[in-house]
Amino acid sequence: MMSAVKIQLSVIVTLLLAASVGASPLFSLSEFRALELAFSRGRELSMLENRTQIVTARSTSIDWLENPEIRFSEISSRYVTDEFDELEIGMRWRPPNLAIWNVDEQENRVAVTEAEVDMNNCRRQLAARVRKVFSDVVMLDELTRLFEKRVIVQEKRIGVIEQMVRNGQRSIIYATKARMAVNETKNDFTRVRQDRSEKRRRLAELTGCSENVLLEIDELPEIDSSFPQLRKIALSRRPEIELVNQKKSLAQKQYNYERLKLVPWFRFFEASHHVRENGDGDWDELMIGVAIPLFNWNIGNIRATNIAVERRETQTEAIRERIEAQVGDTYAIYRDTLLDYQNFSDDAKQFLFEAERIIKISLSHRTLNPDEVMELELAILGTKRLLVEKRGRLAHALAEVYLVVGVNSVDELK
């Protein structure tokens, strides 16, 4: 449920940008559209997508199955110097080992999954970067307006205080503090404008839009899922889990392959045809080669692949624990940030209502001195500044949750 303060903030910032950015923007930019543009422009992401396509295409090749070879023998110079005697034409084929097909196929799956993991991780990290930059621009646009107004109020307040000093209503120390305050605000104003220019430049680099583009500001969605729910989603969506499972399967198949090397297996089949013009005539021949594990018992490779299988089990649990820890830490930060923002929004709503009411009464009945009215206006601006900054921190925390869980929106968490 959106509070009146949240609605007011969204409307104010949207209207502000049209006037504050200078030149008229060519079009507006939503966060969703910014993500689409960043994905289409990301060079590293494009490179990883191409790599995934290449690896996927290569995985369809049947490299484990050798082609047969045609063999010619009994060829000599007698065919030229003497009458034709004999020619042997044969075809030899080397059959694959019992388990080599499974190993090669699984190696291809691992290669494809590794490429997909790199691509998906790059995409998620790029999305988090765009979301954070987008929220920074929203925050700094609003802070620019607030600081600009704060400088105006403080400079006007100095004139009022100096007049009160001349009338003996305020001390010179009071005026000195007011001048120091306005100088500090001007420094902050300069810093905010510089940060705003830098963030808008960064957003333009990521999306290809103008630096003066108008941003469409939506309310930040609230994640109402529990930690166990987020953990379950992360374990099903994060690509690292699938990669570890594929590598574990590969280790098991490599272990089986090394063990099957101890089983006698055919090395080749060769069928040949002997062509004769003299003598007994044509005849056919079949030769078979069998590998016998007489000397090499492959003990070292079997032991090594068995250790690899056990290691993959440990690695699977380690990856799960790491993802669970990331989700837990990020979710805790998000919940704290959300609670802080919500509580402050409620307090700010009440304070702003009360402060504006007091100012209105004072202007009508002069219940406060002019400098006190301006001091209350500065308190209002300070409260709005804190609200904008807390919203920015909440947007960053939300982007981190999307990143570690492996989703693109809050709808995927339902």
Q: Hey, what are 121's tokens? A: 């991780």
The parent domain of residue 195 ranges over 4-413
Return the closest-CA partner of residue 215 out of 127, 126, 134. 134
Rounded Cα gap, residues 61 and 57, in angstroms: 8
pLDDT of residue 77: 54
Q: Which residues of the chain have pLDDT under 50?
A: 1-26
Predicted pLDDT at 308 = 80
State the pairing for strand pair 265-276/86-93: antiparallel
Is 11 within 8 Å of 393 (Cβ atoms)? Answer: no
Write the DSSP assignment of 27-55 as a string of letters. SEE-HHHHHHHHHHH-HHHHHHHHHHHHH
- State the CATH number of the domain containing residue 154: 1.20.1600.10
pLDDT score of 277: 55
Ramachandran region of residue 168, left (φ > 0), alpha (ψ -120 to 50) or beta?
A: left
Residue 116 in contact with residue 238, Cβ under 8 Å? Answer: no
Q: Exposed, middle or buried by CB within 10 Å (0-12, 13-18, 19+), for 287?
A: exposed
Q: How many domains does the chain have?
A: 1
